[in-house]
Amino acid sequence: MARHRPQPRIYVALDAAHEGRVRGLLGALDPSLCGIKIGKEAFTALGPKAIEWARQRGFPVFLDLKFHDIPNTVAQACRAAADLDVALVNVHASGGRRMLEAAREAIGGAEDAPALIAVTVLTSMEDADLAEVGVSDGAEAQVERLARLTAAAGLDGVVCSAREASAMRALFPGEGGLVVTPGVRPAGSARDDQRRVVTPSEALANGATSLVIGRPITAAGDPGRALEAIVAEL
């Protein structure tokens, strides 16, 4: 397994399109407690500036654009992401072996390279959703199928629900293996549009290495205090 940068236990998802909102959240959060996930909304609206602002504050950055395209296009995108000095990059495992291997080669294996992980099944999807797109044997089987393909292609880990984290940890063992789990909600929080959800402590107990948490922190009246409460729970 390739070497890569160390990863925080929590990535806070900054799903916002306005500079003031992004900068405000970055100022409210403690970079010693978390990294920052920059996804499609923030990156489409603000571009690489959003990454630069987070890095200036000392946050490791997860660039969550879920690349899924022909191998050459994904390789070039991964190479560009590495040039932005981010800590973590992801692609869709359903892009297939050749795409995954091209992404791995583009990222490289230097110690300061970003980690590269693949999305298995989005945590908003249930068995019925998968059946509508032709996957008849359910989320659990599809996650395992795509995770094994990801491991065979030499990536560092996967994105999956924490409910599948234990099985994924077996495929990506050791300090370098990554199991990144969105759909994490502290007890009592709204599920929003997530379906396969667990609490932060349950996610870590199941084998997750990094948790992605968005609205329970970013929509809180005091995001910094909400983050501190989750860290204390862990």
Taking residue 225's Cβ as centre, other Cβ atoms within 10 Å add up to 12
Q: Where does residue 188 fall: left (phi above 0), alpha (psi -120 to 50 degrees), or beta otherwise?
A: left
CB 210 within 8 A of CB 9: yes
Instruction: Pick the closest to residue 15 from 47, 49, 50, 39 (CA basis).
Output: 39
- Residue 49: active-site member: no
Q: Is 178 in a helix, a strand, or coil?
A: strand
> Binding site for substrate: which residues?
15, 37, 64-73, 123, 185, 194, 214-215
The contacts of residue 142 (CB under 8 Å, 6+ apart) are: 120, 121, 130, 135
CB 50 within 8 A of CB 22: yes
Tell me how long the chain is. Answer: 234
Q: Which residue of the set 66, 79, 145, 195 is catalytic?
A: 66
CB 12 within 8 A of CB 38: no
CA distance 8 to 60: 8
Enumerate the active-site residues. 66
